[in-house]
A = this chain, B = another copy of it.
Amino acid sequence: MIVVIRPNTPREKVDEVIQEVQRLGYDPRPIFGTQQTIVAAIGDERTHHTLESLNALPQVEKVMPVQKRYKLASRESHPGNSIVNVDGVEIGGEKFCVMAGPCSVESEEQLLTTARAVKAAGATILRGGAYKPRTSPYEFQGLGKEGLRLLDLARQETGLKIITEVLSENHVEHVAQCADILQIGARNSQNFQLLIECARTGKPILLKRGLSQRIEEWLLAAEYILAHGNPNVMFCERGIRTFETYTRNTLDLGAVAIIKRESHLPVIIDPSQGCGRADLVRALCGGAVAMGADGLIIEVHPHPAEALSDGQQQLDFGGFSGLMNDLQPLLTAMKRTV
C-alpha cells in the first residue's frame, strides 16, 4: 500500500501515519518528495488489516493499493490455461464449446425439439432455465423442479450436457443433481453465500459477470469459489449496463482479452443476454471467437415470438444452424474446432 500524505502536512503528523502503519503490522517506508510525502507500507495486503481505513486520518490524502487482491484466480498463480472438464466435454482447450437452448424451459416438446436441433447444429451443452430471476414478480418464474426433470430427460435422450441457473442456496442440492454446470446469474455474481454453496458441490460453475461489475470484482467472486476448494470455474461475459438504450446491455468483448491476461480460467460469451436482440447475435458471436473466447452460450427457441421470456433475443433453429455455419471460417482462423 502507498499512503499519500496531504501537501504541507507537518512532520509530526506524518510520523503519526508512520506509527499507525507500523501498529497495523506493516513496515513503513516514508519518502519525502518535492511536492508531497508518501509512506510505502511493506507487507502482504491479503493477510493484514487493510490500510484503506487510514483515509480516516485528516492528513491522509489517499491510500493506493499496490498488490492484486486475487490470487488463485490470477495468471501468476497458474501460468498455463486451465481446462474445465464437464463430464468429458473440455472447456478452455483447443475445442470451442457451444452451449445452446431456450431461455426458459417451457414444456417437454419445446425443450426436446430444441435439444435435438442444437445438437444437430453442433452444440455439446444444452442450456435452459428452470428457475428464472425475473425483474417483476408478475413475470413467468420458471417451471422449477419440473423444468429440471425435463432437462434430465433431454440429457438422456440427446447426450448433451446440461447447464442451468441456480438462484438460491436452498436449490443448490437438487439443481446440482440434474446439472452438469451450475450457472450463477449476473444478479447473483456477488451473492457470496450462493457462490460458496455452489463451490461445495464440486461441479463446474459458470460465473456470469454482474451488471456493473469491475473485472477485479469478478475475479474476486471467482476467488471465493476457488478458495472454497472448487477449481472448475468459467467466466461468462453477458453484457454490462451502460447509458446505451438501443441494446439491453453492452457486450464487453474486451473482457475476454483482459481475463485471458489476468487469469487462467476459461471465458464464455453470452451474446443473447449481451445485447438482448436476436439480430445482433451473429456478429457478436464472430467477435467472441476472434477475441479468443473459449465458447458461447446462445439462446435458441422453436418460436421466439411466443417465448415466455426474452423472445426478442432468441434465435430460431434456422438462425442457429446458420450461425454455426457462419462461424466456421473464423474458428478455423483461430485454430479452434467445435
Counting contact residues on chain A (CB < 8 A from B), the size range is: 35 or more
A186 to chain B: closest CB distance in Å? 9
Please, which residues of chain B bring their CB within 8 A of the CB of A314? 56
A53:B136 contact, CB within 8 angstroms: no
Q: For the complex formed by this chain, how many copies does it contain in all? A: 4
Please, which residues of chain B bring their CB within 8 A of the CB of A338? none
**Given A36-B66, A53-B307, A280-B261 contact (CB < 8 Å):** yes
Q: Which residue of B lies closest to A289 (CB)?
A: B290
Complex Cα distance, B210 from A305, in Å, reads: 31
Please, which residues of chain B bring their CB within 8 A of the CB of A135? 69, 190, 217, 220
Complex Cα distance, B138 from A278, in Å, reads: 31
Among A238-260, those with CB < 8 Å from B are 240-247, 250-254, 256-258, 260
B240:A257 contact, CB within 8 angstroms: no
A44:B34 contact, CB within 8 angstroms: yes
Among A29-48, those with CB < 8 Å from B are 29, 31, 33-36, 38, 40, 42-47
> Interface segment, A94-102, A114-122, A166-174?
A166-174
Among A182-219, those with CB < 8 Å from B are 187-188, 190-193, 210-212, 214-217
Pick from A214, A254, A258, A291 the residue with the most CB of B within 10 Å.
A254
A256:B243 contact, CB within 8 angstroms: no
Complex Cα distance, B7 from A44, in Å, reads: 13
Q: Which residue of B lies closest to A239 (CB)?
A: B254
A34:B42 contact, CB within 8 angstroms: yes
B253:A138 contact, CB within 8 angstroms: no
Please tell me which one of the listed residues B53, B168, B290 contacts residue A286 in the complex, with CB atoms under 8 A apart. B290
Please, which residues of chain B bring their CB within 8 A of the CB of A63? 312
Q: Which 3 A-B pairs have the closest CB atoms?
A: A53-B311, A55-B312, A290-B290
* 22 A-B pairs in the complex with CB atoms less than 8 angstroms apart: A4-B66, A31-B31, A35-B44, A35-B67, A49-B308, A53-B306, A55-B278, A56-B278, A69-B136, A135-B190, A137-B227, A167-B193, A212-B242, A214-B243, A215-B244, A215-B246, A246-B258, A250-B252, A253-B254, A254-B274, A254-B280, A283-B292
